[in-house]
A and B are shown apart, each in its own frame.
Chain A
Amino acid sequence: MTYPDAKLVADLSKTEMAPTRQGYGKGLVTAGEKDERVVVLCADLTESTFSHLFKEKFPGRFIEIGVAEQNLATVASGLANYGKIPFISSYAVFSPGRNNEQIRTNISLNNVPVKVAGAHAGISVGPDGATHQALEDIALMRVQPNMTVVVPCDVVEAEKATVAVAFNDKPSYIRLGREKSPVFTTPDTPFMLGRAEIYRDGKDAAIIGCGILLHNALIAAEELAGEGIECMVINSHTVKPIDVATIVAAAQKTGAVVSVEEHQVNGGLGSAIAEVLSKNYPVPQEFIGAQDRFGESGTAAELIQAFGLGKDAIKEAVKKVISRKK
């Protein structure tokens, strides 16, 4: 059973589908309505990042940079330094990929509140192939001091996360997907930056994930319950600052953790969880994610299957981690 307080959709197997980047576009408009300091910059990807929603509503506060991601970051740094709240929209492979040093020096070290939005993150980008499938961006961003890192799990959470980072007064990264993915949270689902949400309770293992794969985790947990294995499912949408208390409590309760993310297992959420556990309460952990390899072309569904990110892979990982308990 999912936690009633999580207020998820009634039937996880029959959800609407929408991409998280669409939630970002809606969130931009909401944030823009709340505060006229909000401006949006884009690097020739206005529609595919859903920044056009903001552009149509606030044309005077939309700035087209062209295919120049480094300048995207530096111009935004200057705007934030002056007093604006800039969002910079691009694909994650370019921003924070190509412009990583500009983000490091001019945004994080400068400590100015630029919001970096990396769309088309993860393997689910699909046919575009490895060049456009960012699998390193969480790692790139979470090692920078001052930076907040958020990975929304669906379109509803993406909208909430966008509005939240607009007003956190900090350099922030928000990670977005291209494909339509299940909409399984609701406007009533609790969301607070820095606080992980428990979506399902259980005693045998804790699945801690972020992003669209959380839906697979919930389905896996449901199927495992039919086999008598009770899993917690935790949405750790804020990868940095990570919710240490919730993760440690889950480890104490279950004694086994599976991390789930659409990212390299090196440096992402799984690594962040392992850091928390090894310092506070070491328990066995299995890592669902890209196993140190680049992506390739295919449909999102094919790739999620091939890269071991589907519900069956998660179920196997749960069984394996439980078997490793002492």
Chain B
Amino acid sequence: MGLLRDAVEACPACSTTIAEALKTGYVSQYIDDKKVEELEIKANDARELLIEMLTEAGSGHTAGPLGMADIFTALYFHVLNHDPKNPDWAERDRLILSNGHICPIHYVLMAMSGYFPVEELKTLRKFGTRLQGHPERMRLPGVETTSGPLGSGLGQACGMAYGARMDGKKFRTYCAMSDGEHDSGVTWEAVLFAGKNKLHNLTAIIDRNNIQIDGMTEDIMPLESLRAKYEAFNWHVLEIDGNNIEAFVDATHEAAAIFEKPTVIIAHTIPGKGIREMEFDYNWHGKPPKPEEAKKFLDELRTLGGKITSEHQ
């Protein structure tokens, strides 16, 4: 994935150096406007698949996965060094999903990038499925860990990053988290641990969408200033528009270039992003669309919010 990787394949003469550079993570994967546009289209496709699968499942979370569609698309189609045909590849980057309830978008991107057939998305939450309501490592290859109970992902990501550094491994560990799980004490235990151990090969990504089940995060249990808190715990902090793919990719590059600290990317996302009716509405946190709503939402996505009309005329 990525232009530089394409260049490696195209140019055997320089492939060794570039491949080495890529492996060490010292060289960022250049992203141009064309690639950004390509990823944006893929993110839109991901949202369509997401609405379809949630509607079929009849339960599950909608707003969070929609808000994280851009970041997961960027991760699976550009940022992560991974091999969908070989999910146990020892040198792969690790992606820990801490807030397991947004797994629908994780599943969609895993399917789109080739971990399993896209048709399998329709089995979400059904008896016998590999796509459990909350993701399970033992059921679906490519899922790094079982998650759902909030707060426990970052510690596991710390363990992976720590183990990798003990062995001189070059892969990076990413941990996708929610803002709501920062209410939980165990999250901060892990934040302390990563800061103490300067886990520079760890990048946390916080879905800062400001909603949780009972309402707005700042009403339930105020988290601000998240930046100041993480800085006080000895982390490098980046804040971005989490629905801007280019900004996210740039942030992952910067994270890879920081060697003294772990990095957290506070990604300000819009819950329900891509479907105007859902955006910013916490009522969509924990429910799926009904079939008649889904039709309307899919029309909106397929016309890119009304920008494309020809297909539907």
Contact = CB atoms under 8 A, between A and B. Distances in A.
Interface of A: 39, 60-61, 63, 65-66, 68, 70-71, 73-84, 86, 101-102, 105-106, 109-111
A191 B163 CA distance: 32
Nearest to A61: B166
Given A70-B186, A102-B186, A106-B156, A75 B137 contact: no
Contacts of A81: 137, 144-145, 156, 159-160
10 contacts: A66-B189, A74-B156, A75-B162, A75-B190, A78-B162, A81-B137, A102-B152, A102-B186, A105-B146, A109-B136
B221 interface: no
A82 B146 contact: no
B155 interface: yes
A77 B145 contact: yes
Contacts of B263: none
Q: Secondary structure of the A side of the interface?
A: helix
B2 interface: no
Interface string B160-173: 11111010000000
Given A77-B156, A106-B145, 6 more contacts: A68-B192, A74-B152, A75-B162, A81-B137, A86-B159, A110-B145
A106 B96 CA distance: 12
Q: Secondary structure of the B side of the interface?
A: helix
For B94, B96, B137, B155, the residue with the greatest tally of chain A CB atoms inside 10 Å of its CB is B155
Contacts of A70: 151-152, 155, 185-186, 189
Given A60-B166, A63-B162, A78 B155 contact: yes
B157 interface: yes
Interface of B: 94, 96, 136-138, 144-149, 151-164, 166, 185-186, 189-190, 192-193
Contact of A78 (B136, B151, B159): B159
A58 to B, nearest CB: 11
Given A60-B166, A71-B189, A81-B145, A106 B152 contact: yes
Contacts of B190: 71, 74-75
A79 B193 contact: no
Contacts of B136: 109
A109 B192 contact: no
Contacts of A86: 159
A163 to B, nearest CB: 22
Contacts of B138: 109-111
A105 B155 CA distance: 13
A80 B153 CA distance: 14
8 closest A-B pairs by beta carbon, nearest first, are A78-B159, A74-B155, A71-B189, A78-B156, A68-B189, A82-B163, A70-B186, A79-B159
Nearest to B137: A110
For B137, B148, B154, B161, the residue with the greatest tally of chain A CB atoms inside 10 Å of its CB is B137
A77 B149 contact: no
A222 to B, nearest CB: 48
B80 to A, nearest CB: 16
A76 B192 contact: no
A78 B158 contact: yes
A86 B149 CA distance: 22
A96 B144 CA distance: 23
B154 to A, nearest CB: 8
Contacts of B145: 77-78, 81, 106, 110
A166 B2 CA distance: 42
A77 B159 CA distance: 7
Nearest to B190: A71
Nearest to A68: B189
A84 B169 CA distance: 13
Contacts of A84: 163, 166
Contacts of B156: 74-75, 77-78, 81, 106
Contacts of B146: 105-106, 109-110
Contacts of B94: 82
B148 A105 contact: yes
Nearest to A67: B189
Contacts of A105: 146-149, 152
Contacts of B147: 105
Contact of A71 (B137, B144, B166, B193): B193
A187 B159 CA distance: 35
B193 A82 contact: no
Nearest to A77: B156
B25 to A, nearest CB: 17
Contact of B159 (A60, A68, A75, A101): A75
Contacts of B159: 74-82, 86
